[in-house]
Amino acid sequence: MRENSPPAGDCCNGLFDAFEFTRFQDAEPPKRKGVYVIRIHRRGTPVEEVHDKAIALAESIGWDVAGRFLCSRFDRLSKIGDCPTIYIGSAGTYAGSKNTLKGRYLELATRHTAKYPIWALLSSGWELQYGWMVVDENPGAAEETLKGQYRKAHGGDLPALVNR
């Protein structure tokens, strides 16, 4: 895959023309504030099957608290449709925040709200891209603007793995 090759589908990719994209697992975002996007490059196992296997795993733990939490995250997979954009977020949104694009990327391995669905997709043969745009002043406003444009192009919906 070429780093900047377009993903499958093209309903909103014009929104992200200023972003630098690369293969998800190879991303090296800068230690700067900004906005980031996760999008589908190639689909693997059908999303319904990915969802069902992930839910079965969560339920097999036998610990209701963890199972409910994991199911709430895995249920976001069922919202994946034709649009390749599945997440929009920002880093360094609040005054004094030390969070960076690199930090948020690393959190996808540890504590990010979208980590479990992302892991499920990657382990099921999906190819994802991670993209970012440096925004030194008020990345939260840039994120909200992008989400507004996304909603306008998608009947009011947010990307599949975004909850708010």
Please give the average pLDDT of every successive group of 10 residues along the chain, which has 164 residues. 53 89 98 97 98 96 95 97 97 84 96 96 98 96 97 96 92
Q: Which pLDDT score is estimated for 120? A: 98
Quote the pLDDT of residue 96. 72
Give the separation between CA 35 and CA 135, rounded to whole angstroms.
Answer: 7
Ordered DSSP codes for 3-27: TTPPPS--SSGGGGTT-EEEEGGG-
Instruction: Quote the pLDDT of residue 2.
Output: 41
Question: What radius of gyration, in Å, describes the C-alpha atoms of the chain?
Answer: 16
- Sign of the torsion angle spanned by Cα atoms 138, 98, 104, 3: positive
pLDDT of residue 140: 95
Domain ranges for the chain: 13-153
Q: Report the distance separating Cα 87 and Cα 25, nearest Å.
A: 16
pLDDT given at position 86: 98
Phi, psi of 92 (to 5 degrees): 80, 30
